[in-house]
Chains A and B, each alone.
Chain A
Amino acid sequence: MRVRVLLFARYRELAGGVGERWMELAPGARVADLLAALRATSPRLPPAPAVARNGALVDAGAALADGDEIALLPPVAGG
């Protein structure tokens, strides 16, 4: 399955400046598998960032589905 991965702010910079990518994952993959795959190519990313699946925060055990939008969210600083 393919998921769309968004990296914001500092996380984008830690991953070479690429804020959006599609990633191919095995069927049944979970958020933790996605994070491991990302860190294999971008080892400066933190091991347990806040993650949103289709706009809602999830934990690392959450299952993924084809076409999901997964966002890695650094600590926020709005206002």
Chain B
Amino acid sequence: MTIDVRVGPEPLPLTPPPVPAADGAVVAFWGVVRGEEPRGSIAALEYEAYAPMAEVELRAIAAEAAARWPLGWVRIHHRVGRLAAGEASVWIAVAAPRRAQAFAACRYVLEQLKRRAPIWKREIAADGAARWRGGRRLRARRDG
């Protein structure tokens, strides 16, 4: 089982790497900067991370997913810096023997990332106005 986690400015992969022979399903998710919000048009999001802690947390999430589903690999890459509307900010990809496992694991990783990774974003509206996006308070977790 391979865990591949990155938090940094590098562009995200566009294709998944090779899968183990036992795996017949890859599910990949790209989160993209939405250019239209109910409040108006968005020019960009500026992402910031406490990268060392974020990578530790993302590895823990990946390990949890691998304990729940028989995954060949889990890959989680999150960008930081300024990303224009339409650019991808996060990429999550999992390989599993069957599609149901791959869909479930990918979704689990995404939902946990949003709750637990110390990552923030500042919205830059089309008119230049900037504001930090609201989020969820981090809470300590016990093992298990």
Contacts and interface: CB of A to CB of B under 8 A. Distances in A.
Interface string B112-129: 011111111110000000
Interface stretch (A21-29, A37-45, A53-61): A53-61
B76 to A, nearest CB: 10
B120 A79 contact: no
Given A76-B116, A76-B120, A78-B114, A52 B53 contact: yes
A16 to B, nearest CB: 16
Contact of A78 (B52, B56, B117, B140): B117
A65 interface: no
Interface in A46-77: 50, 52, 55-59, 71, 73-77
B109 to A, nearest CB: 11
Q: Interface on chain A toward B: helix, strand, loop, or mixed SS? A: mixed
Interface string B76-110: 00100000000001100000000000000000001
Nearest to A12: B48
A9 B89 CA distance: 17
A56 B143 CA distance: 13
B138 interface: yes
Contacts of A50: 137-139
Contacts of B134: 75, 77
Contacts of B56: 55
10 contacts: A8-B120, A9-B132, A10-B132, A50-B139, A57-B139, A59-B140, A71-B50, A71-B53, A78-B114, A78-B121
Interface of A: 6, 8-10, 13, 50, 52, 55-59, 71, 73-79
